[in-house]
Amino acid sequence: MDLKSKIILISGPTASGKSSFAIKFAKKVDGEIINADSMQVYKELKILSARPDPKKYQKIKHHLYGFHSVTKNFSTGDWLKLVIKKIKVVKKRKKTPILVGGTGLYFKALTNGLVKIPNIPLKLRNQIRNLQKKLGQKKFYEKLLKIDPSSRVKINPTDTQRSIRAYEVKKFTKKSLTEWFKNTKSNFMEDDFFKVYIDFPRQELIERIDVRTREMIENGAIKEVKDFIKLRVRKDKSANKAIGVNEIREYLKKQKGLNETIEKIAIKTRQYAKRQSTWARGNMINWTRLKPQNINKYLKKI
């Protein structure tokens, strides 16, 4: 297979060594690396987002890292527009684009296209949320199936968030989520991509997360959050979801001790890694699964 002509996608759970693997891969295929991690876009969150260190780039060009302000939201749609342009620029230079990150929705948007559902009025969204709370999830799901029977196939009866989303989309647009997805296409063909998922054993990953969490604190994560707080980032901005921001904020308020803070960040990161792995099992079925012990052997074959 001629990998140099492909768009390389590299994913895996947090702390699985994606960035270092991508650099080694890039050397093999004359590639340039493009960020596919929703937190690594923020310039003020270098340490907590585990953004690759420019000192370790090894002369490989990196794109879409640390360019966006935490004071502004950054959506999957924003990323998709930028990444499509960046892939074209890299290919025009006769280089291989290598997308690296742990944000599954970014990869899904790139390979499947992004659904362009109109913005739903806040008043209607609140009405539907209140209805769900009043009825309870079981009765609300039954009500959803009456207006959108196709939801039975796509949505688990206990999935509150997706049930509410399906209900509000059907109510406002008169079309089901299934119909919206059916009419969505990628800018690329399936054959344009070569996909690799680093499949780390759970226990080893936990150990790596614990080590990395302590390193983040040692490398200045507390100061990073102090500077973040000074920016008065509004609560509705997505950068607030970065693991470590709220935990260190509590530590700075003397609500938690340092060891407890470190443990809390590590636990949250482990939970996030588990969600990433679960998502990948359902949405990255046709990706090449690569065990960490096989990485060097794999790279030699490229």
**How many residues appear in the chain?**
302
Domain ranges for the chain, please list them. 3-115+185-200+278-301, 122-182, 203-277
Torsion sign over Cα 108, 109, 115, 117:
positive
Reading the chain (302 residues) residue by residue, the pLDDT tens digits are 789 999 999 999 999 999 999 999 999 999 999 999 999 999 999 999 999 999 989 899 999 999 999 999 999 999 999 999 999 999 999 999 999 999 999 999 999 999 888 889 999 999 999 999 999 999 999 999 999 999 998 898 998 988 999 999 999 999 998 888 887 889 999 999 999 999 999 999 999 999 999 999 999 999 999 999 999 999 989 999 999 999 999 999 999 999 999 999 999 999 999 999 999 999 999 999 999 999 999 999 88
Tell me the whole-structure pTM to 2 decimals: 0.84
Place of tokens 């509410």: 164
Quickly tell me which residue has 């929705």 as its tokens: 105
Q: What would the two tokens of residue 63 be?
A: 């794109």
State which fold the 203-277 domain adopts: Helix Hairpins (1.10.287)
Spatial separation of the C-alpha atoms in residues 199 and 241, rounded to whole Å: 25
Strands, E assignment, the chain: 7-11, 31-35, 62-63, 96-100, 193-198, 288-290
Residue 216's pLDDT is 98
Q: Does domain 122-182 have CATH number 3.40.50.2300?
A: no
If one counts every other C-beta atom within 10 angstroms of the C-beta of residue 162, the result is 15
Does domain 3-115+185-200+278-301 correspond to CATH entry 3.40.50.2300?
no
DSSP three-state, residue 42: strand
Find out whether 71 and 233 touch, Cβ atoms under 8 Å: yes
**From CA 26, how far away is CA 302, in angstroms rounded?**
11
